[in-house]
Structure 1
């Protein structure tokens, strides 16, 4: 069956986005404990492009499949995990890029470069790194992985924050500062 990307984020309600998130069948990578451990010879660049042995992987379906197998351990190492193998993958910054955001009531929904949708909140926090003059914003995705907000998504989030009293945003009952501590 061919892959159909989700509708544009601007056209989705929070309920529709939540349905799409719930409908995505992801492999249970955190439950797998493969004995074979190695190196995937893969790298994710800061702009979200994937490389294998120096050559760029350009097939969206392949990238989406690999992305569904990612996890990051407590030490910050990213892994591609299958039932039979656990392969390290070099990630220069974040495993994903947040390319769009929409505010719907008390929720922020992010669209990632893999067409995944993430609803910020307790399970998907937003964090600010860097310094106050040049912060970098990230949203938690799954299994310890994160998405860095691209420039336009960052600007959208700042616009949402400026509508309030301070440089912070709220989603699902949690407040996230947009400036590093």
Structure 2
């Protein structure tokens, strides 16, 4: 794909195709070393973009899936979720709103090292983030009403979370153990010295009966 070389005034909100978006976001990503400091940028809001991240992690632009993973990774590097609960693509000069069906990322792999209180759970997301669960990157479990199951989410950065993929959820369940949490017996997992309750042991026993 040929990248457009227009200047920043063209803007995300005025770009007419994916190449134009790629050019602007690429300039933002090259603005400094390491991940772009999107949390420190305070650009004006320039409207919504017809871009959506589906529940399975697939990115769509103008109703068409974005098939190039390097491009998806580029866009994901300048994602930010603000206090208003909305998700944006943010550059130093503007921010535009996008739609997210569930979570912006999917946790597709987990590695467990150590055991007990010393256990560390390291996750990889579908866009290449590598995150160690812990106090700064907690795991939370949400009841899924339509299946009577649980959906785990991992905080990746800022307010952006990854939905833990079903196969990875099964791996987490294998690592679960009974842990006393504030006087209640909980089925829980541990990582980097932090305990993440999954459900009360009473509920687990009822589900297993």
Q: Could you tell me the TM-score, scaled by structure 2's length? A: 0.71
- Contact kept? 1:131, 1:179, Cα under 8 Å: no
Q: Could you tell me the TM-score, scaled by structure 1's length? A: 0.81
CA displacement 1:72-130 (0-9 Å, x = unmatched): 11232111100111011100000000001111122110010011101101111000011
Name which of structure 1's ranges 148-157 and 123-132 shifts more when overlaid on structure 2. 123-132
How far apart are residue 35 of structure 1 and its match?
2.0
Alignment of 1:10-25 (within 5 A): 25=34
Aligned counterpart in structure 2 of residue 119 of structure 1, from 126, 132, 143: 132
Q: Which has the larger radius of gyration?
A: 2
Q: Structure 2: give runs of 5+ residues left out of the alignment.
A: 1-32, 180-185, 204-209
The reply on whether 1:29 has 2:29 as its aligned counterpart is no
In the other structure, the counterpart of 1:50 is: 59
Moved over 6 A (4+): none
Aligned residue pair count? 157
Alignment RMSD: 1.9
Q: In structure 1, how many angstroms separate the alpha carbons of the residues matched to 2:86 and 2:71?
A: 21
Q: In structure 2, how many angstroms separate the alpha carbons of the residues matched to 1:66 and 1:147?
A: 15
Q: Structure 1: give runs of 5+ residues left out of the alignment.
A: 1-23
